[in-house]
Amino acid sequence: MQLQQRYGYCVQNGGGAYIERRFVRTTSLRTKGAYISGSDVRTCNFEAVANLLRLAFRKCGGDRFLKKAISVPLRCFAIGAALALTSSAAAEEVAPYEAFWTDGTRTTSTTPLEWINQERRPTLGQRSPVWGENPLRRLRTTALARPADLGGRVELAGGDRLTGRIIEFLPARNNFLADELRRPECLVVEPLVAPDQPTPDVPVRLHVPVERVRRVVWEERTPRMYRPNTLYYRDGRQTTFRSLRWSPGSVRLLVEQGVEEVAWDEVAEVQLAERDPWEEYADQLALLTPDLSSKLVRFETTGGLRMTVSLDRIRATGDVSKPETQLLVVQPAWSLEGLTIPLQFITAATFFTPREVPLSNFEPAVYVHKAALAGGWKQWRCDANVQGDPLAAGDREYGWGFGVHAHAELGFDLTLWARAFRTGLALDRAADDGGCAKGKIYFGPVLPTGALPNRPLYESPAIVGSVKNGERPLDSGRLELRPQPGRVNRLTLVADALPYERPAGSDPLDVRDVFDWLEPIVELDEALLKAAVAKHAASMFVREHGWTIAGPYGETWQLTSHGYGNQWRSVIEVLKSPLAISRSVAIPAEAEALIVRGGAVGQPASVTKLKLTVGGAQAIEVDLPVFADAKNPPTLRLPLPPTARGRTVRCELTFTTTQQRLRYDVQGISVATPPAK
């Protein structure tokens, strides 16, 4: 039997392994198919196993791996000896969950969050921790290790990450003259939720709109900094491009020499064009929680998957008394369908209000690194220390942030909605009692020389060594921001190595200046954010269908999220009836009818009428059907008058009902023509 450090190879159903010179306990042990039938190893001391096998750590690419175990007799002896420790270790049960609260306090829990039948208000023990004066910020399990290698993945705008394999590319379906459901161009991905998740008979596949994708990784030997419009080949070459088009099995690049086509199996990584990250964030909120009433939760799994959803887009199933049977169906803004995640594969759940944005969701606009000796650590890391290990200070690991080697400057261009900033800062646990640096935070316009503003918003004292167990890192406190229109408003985080003023007794060199920015958050102005999200929500229907909805958004109509079992869609909620949508249409001479795919969702309490007006004259009025299955929308065929054929006319669809706040879901509007002979 071979012990592995990583959960994906050895533990199932909430287990653990020998990790970072500590041990955790498990309810079942499965190592590469080997299983100790009938053995209860909940209190198996894996540290003893490791010592008996004389396992040692070796360093490779920033991750720690256990060396292979030696002879078979010794392995069997070691496992038997570890199982014999069960009775003595039983009294030292460790709570498998750590809860971190908004005020910085930490507690432990023996149970995970309970989601079933209370998705908007999950409970932890006897309380509902997501809402209140001191809500839960993050719940993580101590029994599961983070993945050693993320492997193939799609990285999305906003910091999410979909681990898995790209299967195919699907072109957009947006032809008004084709009788088909609307769909943006998509990458089809088979997600990897956990390394040892059983493969279903019918593989799960997610449709990811290309417009949400920031980076696609097929193969990664070392992490690469984000450089927009760059393609990396598997043979080590790289090229920059002006534009990129996806096609089945390949990408077409517009480069200086012309058009180049590259097969997927030749590509290691492609980094796509940069878009305004703050507008992207508002656009995601328009899908997840357009009225900003729901909290956001970011789930992380043992397979490296990371997705952000709203509490409105979660459905829980399973046995309340058996966490190993519980499943969460979630749908982020970047997927056209929901994904089912077993609760036992979730390593962490982190909660935010829409106006609290983790700064690590965004790429820095500027990065400067200066080092005397540790030049090998030129690259900053997101949500990890500069070595690639978890962000850690003292006896705590942190959920998000940046790892750098001092001296390092990270500059972020903030939105006009930004109102405050707060972060923790410390030398990483890897520095131990060495290293020396000072943290500084600047905010202001970008100066022509690239220099920083004269005075920082915050300046820490010199930090020597990482914090001790039980101590907290430094806290910047809430720093008020006052961005000005008409300029770039840049937030700059500086880890100063203090080359000429290091305190007495500190390391004279910068080798151990391993610095972490811990859980940095930008606080947004609620009114400005709501206005920005409303702008994106108001344009979403016309962007998808090309039809304009009459009346101001928020007064006549609004978007809301509606669930169809394992899928959620943004639907129209009528605030004032009747509601009209219109468009100028070039109707072919052979056109026969207008096809409307959609209907009323929920439980309509009254009959809803749909009227078609063509060129100002009423053509037909019908009852609007009920829409119950997202995959099979009702289809209405509305005949077009002969006088409209062959002309460009204004078409209007009017929804009339006596019910308050009725919801409509429209998946496609097109013109039907006779089939080609």
pLDDT 10s digits, 288-310: 999 999 999 999 999 899 999 99
Quote the tokens at residue 352: 């935010």
Whether residue 84 is predicted with pLDDT greater than 70 in this model: the reply is: no
The pLDDT-based confidence of 376 (bands split at 50, 70, 90) is low
Whether residue 397 is predicted with pLDDT greater than 70 in this model: the reply is: yes
Contact 548, 307 (CB under 8 A): no
Whether residue 568 is predicted with pLDDT greater than 90 in this model: the reply is: yes
Torsion of CA 272, 277, 283, 284, to 10 degrees: 80
Distance CA 244, CA 586 (A): 31
Give the SS3 label for residue 6: coil
pLDDT score at 67? 31
Residues with Cβ within 8 Å of 178's Cβ and at least 6 positions away in sequence, in order, are: 670
Boundaries of every domain in the chain: 7-92, 153-271, 359-524, 547-672
Indicate the burial class of 188 (C-beta count within 10 angstroms; 0-12, 13-18, 19 or more). Answer: middle
The pLDDT-based confidence of 677 (bands split at 50, 70, 90) is low
The pLDDT-based confidence of 330 (bands split at 50, 70, 90) is very high
* Nearest Cα residue to 415 out of 532, 286, 519: 532
Residues with Cβ within 8 Å of 104's Cβ and at least 6 positions away in sequence, in order, are: 472, 475
* Nearest Cα residue to 620 out of 633, 631, 636: 636
The CA–CA distances, whole Å, from 364 to 93, 181, 188, 419 equal 42, 38, 29, 19
pLDDT score at 46? 41
Average pLDDT over all residues of the chain = 83
Quote the tokens at residue 154: 């799609």
| Mean pLDDT, range 21-33, rounded to an integer | 33
The pLDDT-based confidence of 153 (bands split at 50, 70, 90) is very high
**H/E element holding 538?**
helix 526-545
The pLDDT-based confidence of 577 (bands split at 50, 70, 90) is confident
Whether residue 617 is predicted with pLDDT greater than 80 in this model: the reply is: yes
Can you name the CATH fold of 547-672? Jelly Rolls (2.60.120)
Q: pTM for this one? A: 0.84
288 φ, ψ (degrees, to nearest 5):
-80, -45
pLDDT score at 7? 31
Give the SS3 label for residue 333: coil
pLDDT score at 541? 93
- Name the strands in the sheet holding 648-656, side by side, starting at the edge strand that comes first in the sequence: 548-549, 579-586, 648-656, 609-614, 617-623
CATH 3.30.2130.10 fits 359-524, yes or no: no
The pLDDT-based confidence of 640 (bands split at 50, 70, 90) is very high
Distance CA 17, CA 143 (A): 8
**Strand ranges in 293-338 using DSSP code E only, listed in sequence order:** 296-301, 306-310, 314-317, 327-330
